[in-house]
Amino acid sequence: MTAKAGVPQMIPHSTNGKITQKGSEWVFRIPVSGRYYGGVAAKYVGENIGKKIAYICAADAASVNDCASMQAQMRKQFGAEPAYVADVQEKEVDFRSHMQKIKSMGVDGIMVAALAETMARALVQSYEAGIGEDVRRIGSSSASNAPVPKIAGDAVKGVFFTAAYSAADSRPIAKLFNEMTRSRYGIHAPDHDFSQAYDLVRIMEMALKNAKLTGSLAEDRTAIRDAIANVQGYQGLASGPISFCAAPTPQCRDGNRTAVLIGYTKGGENFETEVLARVTMDENFGLE
């Protein structure tokens, strides 16, 4: 719809890799694409957790993409086929039958790709099924959302995931941002939805300052689009620089290529996380 109307569109939250693969000249993504997340998570899992992984995959677009990307990368990097795959509804509430089956298989890890509330339920029920903490829980990027540790409580401890920002980041800009969001919104710790929205607004501010506007709606939309495309090396809350270019390709429109591996060390209202690693991917990764 934005392409047909000729309106610049900046994506604040979605990781779905397909968004920038439609060839639209009008779309720009601020988050890290799921095509990068899959490679980072698979490398860490294969080298540190194991290769026998079970998957719980919810039906929302981002989770479907995250599950498929993770499985594809485990095959490509380690020759590992999924030990178990369960495709569930977007707001599924009962995972017990799946968890019982997974328990009997002796897997190394369980990936739960789902939206926040659904993921939290699955994590809790995995422990209720008797799957011990020695089986690592791997989250999709929505594991970064605050409802996951708040709802899951102790079941979130040890869960790790890929995201674009962690409140455990020690950079001065991150500490200032954490303080600002706590005082302004009363939240315990901002997740990457907060940081990505902030980076989006700052990038749009830069583009509007640089665009030469004429007063013609169609011309001004094109000028703003081109100004966004000219953003290079923006350094904000994202762990790596965000850059765009003119071509309507994923290489030009997936602006943030630096994923952060983050682990929960404590659940509940006052949850805590740690940064495990930061990885910048090649712009062509996941397009082969």
Nearest to 50 by CA among 136, 114, 159: 136
Nearest-angstrom CA–CA distance, 274 and 110: 20
- DSSP state letter for 120: H
pLDDT at 62 over 90: no
Task: Among 1.10.760.10, 3.40.50.10310, 3.40.50.2300, 3.30.390.10, name the CATH number for the domain at 35-165+259-280.
Answer: 3.40.50.2300
Q: Which amino acid belongs to residue 191?
A: D
pLDDT at 23 over 80: yes
Angle between helices 61-78 and 34-48 (to 10 degrees): 50
- DSSP state letter for 146: T
Q: And the tokens for 182?
A: 């706590």
pLDDT top residue among 99 and 91: 99
Q: List the end-to-end C-alpha distance of the chain, in Å, as a whole number.
A: 28
pLDDT digits (tens, 9 = 90+) for 224-244: 999 999 999 999 999 999 999
Nearest-angstrom CA–CA distance, 47 and 132: 20
Q: In which residue are the tokens 């994506």 written?
A: 11
In a 3-state reduction of DSSP, which class is residue 170?
coil
Torsion of CA 214, 216, 220, 223, to 10 degrees: -70
Q: What residue segments make up the domains of the chain, in order of their start?
A: 19-26+170-257, 35-165+259-280
Contact 33, 20 (CB under 8 A): yes
Q: Going by C-beta distance under 8 Å and a sequence separation of 6 or more, which residues neighbour residue 197?
A: 12, 13
What are the counts of helices (DSSP H) followed by strands (DSSP E) for the chain?
Answer: 10, 10
pLDDT at 288 over 80: no
pLDDT top residue among 109 and 62: 109
Q: And the tokens for 255?
A: 């602006």
Q: Which amino acid belongs to residue 106?
A: G
Q: What is the mean pLDDT of the chain?
A: 94
Give the full edge-to-edge strand order of the sheet including 9-11. 9-11, 27-32, 254-256
Q: What is the pLDDT of residue 141?
A: 83
pLDDT confidence band for 253 (50 / 70 / 90) = very high
Contact 229, 252 (CB under 8 A): yes
Contact 213, 197 (CB under 8 A): no
- With a pLDDT cut of 70, the percent of the chain lying above it is 100
Q: What is the pLDDT of residue 135?
A: 97
Continuous H helices in the chain: 2-5, 34-48, 61-78, 96-103, 116-128, 147-152, 172-185, 192-210, 217-229, 250-253
pLDDT confidence band for 104 (50 / 70 / 90) = very high
Q: What is the pLDDT of residue 225?
A: 98
Contact 235, 47 (CB under 8 A): no
pLDDT confidence band for 144 (50 / 70 / 90) = confident
Q: What is the pLDDT of residue 102?
A: 97
pLDDT confidence band for 21 (50 / 70 / 90) = very high
